[in-house]
Amino acid sequence: MKKIIYILIVLSTFSFNAYSAKKEKKKTTKIEKVKADRTYPKLFKDASKLTSAKSFDLSLYLYNDKIYLEIPRRNFGREFLLTTSITQATDLALYGIMANQPKCIIIDRQDSLVYFKKPHAIYAVNQEDTARAKAMDLSKMDAICNSFRIAAYNVDSSRVVIDLTNYLKTNNTDLFNLKGKAYEEGITIQSSTPKGEEFIEGINAYQNCVCVNKSISLELALGSMIGILANKPVTSLSIQMMISVLPERLLMMQTKEADPHIGSGFVKYTDYRKLTDTKQGYYATRRRFYPGNKIVFHVDTLISDSWRKSIDEAAERWNDEFEKLNLGRPLTLQPFSKDSTFSSNDPMVNTILFANNLSRYVTSRNITDPRTGEIFSTKISVPRDLAANVRRNGISLMAEVDDRYRTYYLPDDLLCEILKAYMLKAFGISLGLTRNLAGSHAYSPQQLRSPEFTQQNGITASVMDNIIYNYVAMPGDKERGVVLTLNKPGKADAFVLRYLYGNDSRRGMEQLIALHANDPEYLYGKPNMRYSMDPRSLSNDLGNDPIEATKSKIHHLKYLVQHAPSWFNMSELPPSFELFPEMSILELANSIYTLMYHIGGVYQNEPVKGRNNSLTVSVPKTLQRQCTDALFEILGDITWYDSNPEFARMGGANSNVNYFYQVQGYIIRSIFPRLKFMDLSIDHSDDPYTQKDFLTDIERHVFNAVRLNKTPQHTDIIKMGIYVGNLIGYSPTMTAIAKNKQGEAKALIGEDVMSVSGVGPTTNIHFFHQTDLEPILYEKLIDAHALLLKAKSLCGNPNDAAKIQYLLLTVNRVLKK
């Protein structure tokens, strides 16, 4: 009995202790407290949910999906730079671009509010006029853009925190605006609509900036010259929004005026140095560089050794040009550092990244001080699939000349050559150079086929043109030592480098500019305006003889059609390569553009100080006529494209491309818009190539068989119909008459041509006017009527005669016969 009682006592004691332990445990859980952030405990009450990214000048906090910015009191009143870049994209056209114009703001504080202010406009005044300079300083007033209530102070109030969540959303067009960005050739983004919510990937802080990384999905509205496109692609993006403190005014880089003869980037300012002649001014973009300084690029260690060597070679070719100016060899390449202070994602560090995605192009973007043009950093991206770029752009042009292009699996040494060419351009951008479309126009076909010349000068006067391949070269040239790809900076590039970083005085540089004003190797070719096309500044052209260049290109394409099927086994290659035959058609289109823009073209020259040089010079009449003839004689008939059925089958069912080409009237429809843009050339020529001359030459080719008293073929009749339709379509009066007649032949009137080729009033060139085309078109329609009658009489086939009779009926209605 005693034993039982003892056991019960022990058990009851154990149970009590267990109960007490449970009770104590429960009590401990109850009294646990959530730890708040030490610096801002009232704002960030649960430190476990807080992510911070701190730098010396700025810090970011991410808490409950809200983004907070911490600003030290010492930085109030200073200027900051805001940029947004696209770091990843499912749509490769958007990868690596800037998603906003870099925005400069002033962050200031008054009482419990923090203000984002728009800085006063950048301006220049005559500093010797102290009264005017003082007045300009006193007149400065920074407009308030946004205000934010202070969310928290630190203990000594030396730092404050504001909520930037809504400001950093992509509906803020100051930070994210894709409107006007290029999408594909000839297509731009008109607007973007969010699809779903934005997602914050994270925040980061670096030595000179803080960043917010986000993921978004967008639906894009696209447009071209013909209007808004029906296709609205959806794309997903990763973006990086950066906030950085800009150098204080006393520490800003000294500005350098941009010059219209020099191919540099620029930032704008307002020039008040002459109050009677206030104008827009431009500062050149460049590095803060002095002899002995180094421009360091950090290179991704994922890039292969052979590719790294090509990147090194491109940098060294630019260093050669610096050394010629006694400026040392500043471009230095280092592998990614393992140091914890280094991050390749830091937007203010120069990096060369390996893009492990489907991108095909080397991309390059600068972060620049909008006040002075100082280039802070450059981000260069090297694509993994560079070979896809070469397959798309190189095989068609170079396979006849270089057998390395005659395979799907391109050799590494070839890819290294192409990578070097693209890196020459990328380093040029990083140094402040901009696109120079005249570089490829500097040399003659004979020079481009000379081993000695190309080895000494390369294939273009500027690597900043968009030429990579020497497609003027012919079989045997490679073996003779002719350079086939872009391989070194040209004379125009060296001249820009001297202007941006050299030690010449302003007067000395002006004398050099005057000395080289008429030298094509030093020409800076700017983007063209439609009503003043300078054929020296075209994309995809090579050499100063457009007709010989076109013949060379067609020669290569004919070789491709005959031999490509033996190079590629399409059944073993990816489906994406099926587009290869269609891509060769783009080279035909490029040749058409090169030739047609000589028609009505003008050479636009910048004024040279101390000289009375001609600013606008018409392209010679003989060259304009030769280009019109070449369009029909070289490109008017592409039956050779269908000569090898196996080539057509490489991309699927693509037989009889030439027939489709003729039915669409591609040549006539492409060149007819030039009628509206020939007046500037006519006004600046003593012996102009007029609209009537142009139409007469087109007529000569369209009715060539009729003039030779030959029976018109089916394709001839198609050309006649397209020609007549465009004559009527470009005349509002004749179009209206045709529409008012019963049995209107809408297919011949060319309404679509009018919608494409209409031009608004010109305001930039005040001496430009448009000739009334109505009398000319009417006269040529009368001439066409007579030729159609003759064509009908030459027809041996009743069906062809009926088709021409239908054209006559259309013309008669307009001419009221």
Please name the residues in contact with 334: beta carbons below 8 A apart, sequence gap of 6 or more: 296, 297, 298, 299
Measuring CA to CA, which residue among 600, 456, 463 is closest to residue 533? 600
Please name the residues in contact with 797: beta carbons below 8 A apart, sequence gap of 6 or more: none
And the tokens for 172?
């803020």
Sort 104 into a burial class: Cβ within 10 Å, 0-12 / 13-18 / 19+.
Answer: middle
Helices marked H in 358-472 — which ranges?
386-393, 395-398, 412-430, 445-448, 451-457
d(CA 663, CA 661): 6
Measuring CA to CA, which residue among 570, 567, 562, 583 is closest to residue 652? 570
Q: Could you give the count of Cα atoms lying within 13 Å of 345 in the half-sphere of its Cβ?
A: 18
Classify residue 346 by its DSSP letter.
-
Task: Print burial letters for 649-671: b (CB count within 10 Å at least 16), e (below 16).
Answer: ebbeebeebbeebbeebbbbbbb
What is the model's pLDDT at position 537?
94
- Strand 363-368 with 159-163, pairing: unpaired
644: helix, coil or strand? coil
And the tokens for 146?
């946004």
Measuring CA to CA, which residue among 85, 255, 250, 65 is closest to residue 163? 65
The residues that bridge with 269 in the sheet, in sequence order, are: 281
Measuring CA to CA, which residue among 527, 681, 537 is closest to residue 600? 681
Neighbours of 3 (CB within 10 A): 7
Measuring CA to CA, which residue among 193, 229, 243, 194 is closest to residue 215? 194
Q: What is the 3-state secondary structure (H, E, C) of 743-762?
A: CCCHHHHCHHHHHHHCCCCC
Angle at Cα 56 formed by Cα 51 and Cα 62, nearest 5°? 15
Angle between helices 691-702 and 774-794 (to 10 degrees): 10
And the tokens for 668?
């006539």
The residues that bridge with 284 in the sheet, in sequence order, are: 266
d(CA 514, CA 506): 12
Measuring CA to CA, which residue among 525, 379, 546 is closest to residue 465? 525
Please name the residues in contact with 539: beta carbons below 8 A apart, sequence gap of 6 or more: 437, 466, 590, 593
pTM, entire model: 0.88
Measuring CA to CA, which residue among 289, 278, 281 is closest to residue 254? 289
Please name the residues in contact with 465: beta carbons below 8 A apart, sequence gap of 6 or more: 435, 436, 437, 438, 439, 440, 525
E strand or H helix at 622, and its extent? helix 621-633
Region of residue 709 (phi > 0: left; psi between -120 and 50: alpha; otherwise: beta)? left
Classify residue 529 by its DSSP letter.
B
What is the model's pLDDT at position 652?
65
What is the model's pLDDT at position 134?
62
Residue entry with tokens 């050779």: 640
Helices marked H in 431-545 — which ranges?
445-448, 451-457, 477-480, 491-501, 506-515
Measuring CA to CA, which residue among 244, 269, 286 is closest to residue 103? 244
Residue entry with tokens 């209007």: 227
What is the model's pLDDT at position 139?
60
pLDDT along the chain (817 residues), means of 10: 39 39 40 73 93 93 96 95 93 86 93 91 66 61 87 93 96 92 83 91 95 95 81 92 94 93 92 70 93 94 97 98 96 93 93 87 94 96 94 94 97 98 98 96 98 98 97 98 98 98 92 92 88 89 96 96 92 80 82 94 91 90 97 91 86 72 88 94 95 97 96 93 94 81 44 32 50 93 96 92 93 85
d(CA 36, CA 596): 71
Classify residue 623 by its DSSP letter.
H
Q: Could you give the count of Cα atoms lying within 13 Å of 384 in the half-sphere of its Cβ?
A: 6
Neighbours of 625 (CB within 10 A): 17
Residue entry with tokens 């030739």: 595
d(CA 342, CA 298): 10
Contact 355, 388 (CB under 8 A): no
And the tokens for 236?
């997903």
E strand or H helix at 23, and its extent? helix 2-31
d(CA 764, CA 529): 10
